[in-house]
Amino acid sequence: MEANQATSKGSRTVVLVLRLLTFVFLLTSLIILATNTATVETTDGDAKIKFQDVIAFRYMIATIVIGFAYNLLQTTISIYSIVTGNRLLSGDAGYLFDFYGDKVVSYLLATGAAAGLGVAKELHPFFKDILELPLNKFFAMAYASGSLLLLGFITTAISSVFSSYALPKKVQN
C-alpha cells in the first residue's frame, strides 16, 4: 500500500509541475498577444493594427483565458492535494472533473493555437508581398504567442493522460 501512495504522490507532483508549466506558457502567451500592436504608415496617415483586428487572434485570446482560468483552478486543487494529502473534491466527482476538464481544455488550447498560427501563416505573406506593409514584428509576436499556446496544449494534454490513468482506478462502476 505504501508504494501505491508514493506513486500517487509522485504522479500528483508531476501533474502539479505540468500545471505550473502550463500556467507559465499561457500567461506568457497572453501577455505577448495582448500587447501585440503595429503602426503602419499609409497615405491617409498612420494606422494602428492590434490583435483585436484579427478574429482568429481574438479566438486565441479567448482560449488562453479559458485555459488559464481552468489551469489556475486545477493548480490550486493540486497544491491543496499535495499539501493535505486529500483531494478537494472527494469521491468520483474530482476524478471526473479532472478527466473531462483536461480533455475539453486541451482541445480548446489546441484549436486556439491552430487558429492563431494558421492565420499568422496566411496573413503574413499577404501583408508583406501584396500590400507591401512591413509587419514582420507583429506576426513574429503572433507566432511566438501561438507557439507558447501550443506548448500549453502539450503540457495540458500530458496532464490529461495522467487524469485518464487515474479515472478507471478510482471511479466506481
Structural domain contains residue 85 = yes
**% pLDDT > 90, the chain:** 49
Q: How far is CA 68 from CA 21, 83, 89, in A?
A: 11, 22, 20
- The predicted-structure confidence for 33-45, as pLDDT tens digits, reads as follows 999 998 877 778 8
pLDDT score at 1 = 40
- Any domain includes 123: yes
Residue 19 forms part of a structural domain: yes
| Model pLDDT, residue 44 | 80
pLDDT reading at 173 higher than 60 = no
On the 0-12 / 13-18 / 19+ scale of CB atoms within 10 A, 8 is middle
Give the domain range for residue 125: 9-170
Three-state secondary-structure class, residue 111: helix
Stretch 81-91: mean pLDDT: 76
Residue 4 counted as domain residue:
no
**How many Å apart are CA 47 and CA 34, to the nearest integer?**
18
Q: Which of 2-11, 131-140, 156-165 has the lowest mean pLDDT?
A: 2-11
| CATH number of the CATH domain containing 27 | 1.20.140
Query: Residue 47 domain-assigned?
Result: yes
Number of folded domains that form the chain = 1
Is residue 146's pLDDT more than 80?
yes
* Contact in structure between 146 and 36 (CB atoms under 8 Å): no
**pTM to 2 decimal places:** 0.85
